[in-house]
Structure 1
Amino acid sequence: MNAEQVMDFSNFPQAKRIGVLGFGGLGQAAAKVLAPKKEMILVTVADKKGYAYSPEGLNAKECIATYHSQGSVGYLDIFGTLTNYSIQDLIESGHPVDGYFLALPNLPNDFIASVAQQFIKSGWRGVLVDAIKRTSAVEQLLKMKEELQAAGITYMTGCGATPGLLTAAAALAAQSYSEIHQVEITFGVGIANWEAYRATIREDIAHMPGYSTETARAMTDAEVEALLDRTNGVLTLENMEHADDVMLELAGICPRDRVTVGGVVDTRNPKKPLSTNVKITGRTFEGKISTHTFTLGDETSMAANVCGPAFGYLKAGIGLHQRGIYGIFTAAEIMPQFVR
């Protein structure tokens, strides 16, 4: 087989129709990630004020330009629809979509679960994937397993970077050991301007001492700016409520109290303040104590490490759905499939 044959996409099945809910920094990055793909085509995006749909595929650059210039993809010529109930109206429109990436802020803490309920009630059947962070939010979704199964929905949860990519790496690395003593996830995020990822930064603030999901959600942009001024733009997060713990426990890797997650977010510098990594310490069958470390390249952005895995898990979910396997699965249970 030569290189030309390897890169021949002509024998692939028809591209899957994908939607992105939420069009802030993460949603826009997701659209860019999908743009060159052959196996998936972006047919719809939704933001707070509207949505856009095209069965032939949307142009990511046009969607982003319209969002920035007019505040909503609902203004997109021909394909846009303005509505204050964009997710509900999009679901009820009946437009054929095989899978959605929920690139939504999870403030309040039950928001993603409420969106999943909308899909269940609508009668839509397909695949959903999220990059949710909090343990309590994932636990809400896990309780919906039977509802999702009955609705014919395959739901992939915790499928970003952490939880997600690093959780899966921990699950794989754990195979070297007879017992896992500790899983330590440390992330570094660098962004040039916090306003490009307002929802993500607010979720990070919610993990800080003295803050909650409610207080972070209620903060004005000016209040966020004032907090960042006091910290020189750097957020240091320790012992976060991150769903890596419940996901690894559910997969039988280790009790959740052996999993810790923390990191540093620099909101004024695109360079990572530290390298993102996961360390898995355990005892081998010979009685040796050792640590595996999986480190992400500093050149990979938060968006690359969230959106890439999310679509990889969405592809895996589509494979499950086609086989009639519905319900909810985590990044520690299923291997992602590379989207070409």
Structure 2
Amino acid sequence: MNANIVNRPMQVGVLGFGGLGQAAARMLAQKQEMLWVAAGDREGFAYDLAGLNPDTAITTCHQRGSVGYLESIGKLSSNSISELIARTEVDGYFLALPNLPNTFMASVVEQFIDSGWRGVLVDALKRTSAVEQMLALKERLEAAGITYLTGCGATPGLLTAAAAIAAQSYAEIHSVKITFGVGIANWSAYRATIREDIAHLPGYNVEKASHMSDAEVEALLDATGGILALENMEHADDIILELAGICSRDRVTVGGVVDTRNPKKPLSTNVQITGRTFEGKISTHTFTLGDETSMAANVCGPAFGYLKAGLSLHRRGIYGLFTAAEIMPQFVR
């Protein structure tokens, strides 16, 4: 392989430019091993091999609604994902896309497969059923020369990987309990993420949440004081830990509290792994995230760590689908 390709910064694209996509752009600006060269949203895309400027891109998106309006490097398109794939040379993409409807991410991945593109893809999917759709594409991804890592955000992702490591102390895992706290100053900064959370509430589903107007979301949040309390969520940590042989999915529970009006976390995010040691002792490991780390930091950081790990696999000719509990993320300097 050409040494220049191996030694140059990884050329990275971000698909989806809402709250997470914009946070990803700001994070990439501080990295030396990755260069942000491509972005796409529902109205257009932008591409610059010299690197995109996050401040300019975010300002343009806020003022005009799309990165497609970026002067000289942007293009408006109703088919932005397909056009971006076809026109750019990108090593890997973080798919920071809202998975609404629940089949959306799989349909995007199929576009990559059908295009003949080869590289690394990472998602931060939440729902078990969405990851199951990715698993159904495993053989096609491998045949296409794509290395795909799924469920690589915070939960699933960072906390799932922590559970997989903590499980090594035990001969049998009795339970994995993930509890998250998220604080954001204004729900509108993470519209898609909040809608995905609303879909987990009693009386709601993905279809209903995806069709809610902003006014309807605001009315719901007014009724709850801006708080979303979520229990027994359909979260892909369960299938990921089951696939890794840690425990059956029915032993994994995920829930949490989202405060949409306060950047301070309503509670500390943690994962508790309870099991029996080989000596017959019952014990619990607890891994707690610092309250000062934001949702964006805990999602985007692992996503790019997995993207770097995926590139290492891809360069060794290892393609197909992997999960956050199978591959160790690599720190991006």
- Give yes or no for TM over 0.5: yes
- Say if 2:203 is the partner of 1:206: no
How far apart in 2 are the matches of 1:231 and 1:330? 35
- TM-score for the superposition, normalised by structure 2: 0.98
Q: How does 1:62-77 map to 2 (within 5 A)?
A: 62-77=56-71
- Deviation, structure 1 residue 69: 1.0
Partner of 2:317: 324
- Say if 2:209 is the partner of 1:216: yes
How far apart in 2 are the matches of 1:22 and 1:292? 35
- Picking from 174, 180, 189, the partner of 1:181 is 174
- Aligned AA for 2:84? L
Residue 203 of structure 1 aligns to a residue in which SS? helix
Identity %: 76
Partner of 1:7: none
How far apart in 1 are the matches of 2:281 and 2:76? 61
Residue 125 of structure 2 aligns to a residue in which SS? coil
Partner of 2:286: 293
- Deviation, structure 1 residue 312: 0.1
- Deviation, structure 1 residue 33: 0.6
- Say if 2:3 is the partner of 1:40: no
83-92 vs 57-66, which deviates more?
Answer: 83-92
Residue 7 of structure 2 aligns to a residue in which SS? coil
- Aligned AA for 1:250? L
How far apart in 2 are the matches of 1:63 and 1:316? 27
How far apart in 1 are the matches of 2:103 and 2:331? 30
Partner of 1:123: 116
Partner of 2:304: 311
Partner of 2:155: 162
- Deviation, structure 1 residue 92: 2.1
Q: Which runs of 5+ in 2 are unaligned?
A: 1-5
Partner of 1:14: 8
- Deviation, structure 1 residue 114: 0.5
Count of residue correspondences: 329
Residue 56 of structure 1 aligns to a residue in which SS? coil
Partner of 1:262: 255
- Say if 2:91 is the partner of 1:98: yes
- Deviation, structure 1 residue 78: 1.0
Partner of 2:3: none
How far apart in 1 are the matches of 2:316 and 2:82? 28
Partner of 1:195: 188
- Aligned AA for 2:182? V
Moved over 2 A (4+): none
Q: Which runs of 5+ in 1 are unaligned?
A: 1-11
- Picking from 45, 53, 62, the partner of 1:59 is 53
How far apart in 2 are the matches of 1:70 and 1:112? 25
1:225-259 C-alpha deviation (Å, 9 max, x unpaired): 00000000000000000000000000000000000
- Aligned AA for 1:98? D
How far apart in 1 are the matches of 2:79 and 2:101? 17
- Say if 2:79 is the partner of 1:85: yes
- Deviation, structure 1 residue 99: 0.1
- Say if 2:326 is the partner of 1:339: no
How far apart in 2 are the matches of 1:338 and 1:223? 40
- Aligned AA for 2:286? T
- Say if 2:253 is the partner of 1:243: no
- Picking from 21, 29, 32, the partner of 2:23 is 29
61-70 vs 120-129, which deviates more?
Answer: 61-70
